[in-house]
């Protein structure tokens, strides 16, 4: 029986591509046994079992860049995680390992290289993360979503695949009626979808909160994913606009959210950008300025430079985000241009291509 370990996590941007790869592997060969390895206490420990897969958590933690003293326990956690990763590999006996980024993939792939297990890295962003850069030297294959990644990786190992996303995103056009019913919205009004990633986005939330009266007053309705930290405040604001604003801390039915959206306001994480390309939605991107190496701005600019999205800087969002959103909602021709151009950047077969690369490594081994 073929066995695959998939490691990584910390945010939805790492977890959902990992699950998409696992699902693609299962489609190719239903008998494949898949084990996930993540970080204890992180969201993958909840999301992966919900997707039907087993996961083991390591005690690893990321480097805290804002509080150096918080990193004193990092060496101990790394050593413990590496030891546990070796035990997991010894027990599970994988044919190949896959790393999707995030610090959780570090100990597992390091152990894999020490124990002779071939591995593939999937880099989602336009600027490679520190974990993937460190692990790339021993990787057999590196699947990427953006051009010019030979700046970070050996060009001979690179395969341009795009980012894997949830399969249901591919079929959003046929789901609008179902989506309207699910969110309790009106078919005659245009809808704004506001998403800040799995953790929420403070600047986006505060900007929408302050401008919600203007959005609804202009005749639009809103689906607003807030994240856990902002949900109670958002509910208080949205309560005035019953039937016109749907608020949730987390939206599991993202296919329906995209289906109902005429315009999307979003951060520019790699997963969000890839989903927006597949869903072909006119989008306003507000990159997270504190993202490592400012990679979200680079992700956003890959669209903006192709006239495939509008950029609003985080620092300007509170003043200009809602106005930019209303302007786009009122400009049908601009929506059409953005939708057409963003869809041309989509990679609908990414998960399948990566799964095939994973299986090729087993053959080579």
CA distance 31 to 294: 41
**Burial class of residue 16, CB neighbours in 10 A (0-12, 13-18, 19+):** buried
Q: Measuring CA to CA, how many Å separate 83 from each of 68, 86, 87, 106? A: 25, 5, 6, 12
The token pair at 266 is 């979003």
Q: Is 134 annotated as a binding residue?
A: no
User: Contact at 8 Å (CB) between 86 and 114?
Assistant: yes
Q: Is 272 annotated as a binding residue?
A: yes
Q: Is 349 annotated as a binding residue?
A: no
Q: Is 296 annotated as a binding residue?
A: yes
Q: Is 211 annotated as a binding residue?
A: no
The token pair at 33 is 């046994």
User: Contact at 8 Å (CB) between 6 and 23?
Assistant: no
Q: Is 346 annotated as a binding residue?
A: no
Q: Is 172 annotated as a binding residue?
A: no
Q: Is 12 annotated as a binding residue?
A: yes
Q: Is 297 annotated as a binding residue?
A: no
CA distance 342 to 303: 7
With a CB cutoff of 8 Å and minimum separation 6, the contacts of 190 are 219, 220, 221, 262, 263, 329
Name beta bridge partners: 99.
Answer: 7, 121
* Sign, Cα dihedral of 243, 248, 252, 256: positive
Q: Is 41 annotated as a binding residue?
A: no
User: Contact at 8 Å (CB) between 198 and 12?
Assistant: yes
CA distance 196 to 272: 9
Tokens 């950047």, residue?
345
Q: Is 199 annotated as a binding residue?
A: no
Q: Is 201 annotated as a binding residue?
A: no
Annotated binding site: 11-13, 125, 166, 198, 251, 270-275, 296
Binding residues for UDP-N-acetyl-alpha-D-glucosamine: 11-13, 125, 166, 198, 251, 270-275, 296
């Amino acid at each position: 029986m073929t066995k695959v370990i998939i490691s990584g996590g910390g945010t939805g941007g790492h977890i959902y591509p990992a699950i998409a790869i696992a699902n693609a592997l299962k489609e190719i060969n239903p008998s494949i046994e898949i084990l996930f390895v993540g970080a204890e206490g992180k969201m993958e420990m909840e999301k992966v079992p919900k997707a039907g897969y087993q996961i083991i958590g390591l005690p690893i933690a990321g480097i805290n860049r804002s509080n150096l003293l918080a990193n004193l326990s990092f060496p101990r956690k790394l050593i413990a995680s590496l030891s546990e990763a070796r035990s997991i590999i010894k027990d599970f006996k994988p044919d190949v390992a896959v790393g999707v980024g995030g610090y959780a993939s570090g100990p597992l792939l390091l152990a894999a290289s020490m124990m002779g297990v071939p591995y593939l890295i999937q880099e989602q962003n336009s600027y490679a993360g520190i974990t993937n850069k460190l692990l790339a030297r021993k990787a057999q294959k590196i699947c990427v979503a953006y051009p010019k990644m030979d700046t970070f990786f050996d060009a001979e190992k690179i395969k341009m695949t795009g980012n894997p996303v949830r399969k249901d995103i591919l079929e959003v056009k046929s789901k609008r009626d179902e989506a309207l019913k699910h969110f309790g919205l009106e078919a005659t009004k245009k809808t704004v979808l506001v998403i800040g990633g799995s953790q929420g986005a403070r600047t986006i939330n505060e900007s929408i909160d302050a401008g919600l009266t203007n959005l609804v007053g202009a005749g639009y309705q809103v689906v607003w994913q807030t994240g856990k930290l902002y949900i109670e405040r958002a509910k208080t604001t949205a309560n005035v606009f019953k039937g016109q604003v749907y608020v949730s801390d987390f939206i599991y039915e993202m296919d329906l959210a995209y289906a109902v959206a005429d315009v999307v306001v979003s951060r520019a994480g790699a997963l969000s950008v890839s989903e927006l390309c597949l869903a072909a939605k006119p989008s306003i991107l507000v990159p997270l300025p504190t993202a490592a190496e400012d990679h979200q701005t680079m992700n956003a600019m890959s669209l903006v430079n192709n006239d495939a999205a509008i950029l609003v800087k985080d620092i300007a969002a509170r003043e200009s985000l809602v106005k930019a959103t209303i302007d786009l909602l009122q400009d049908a021709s601009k929506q059409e241009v953005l939708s057409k151009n963003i869809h041309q950047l989509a990679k609908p077969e990414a998960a399948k291509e990566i799964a095939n690369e994973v299986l090729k490594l087993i053959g080579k081994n």
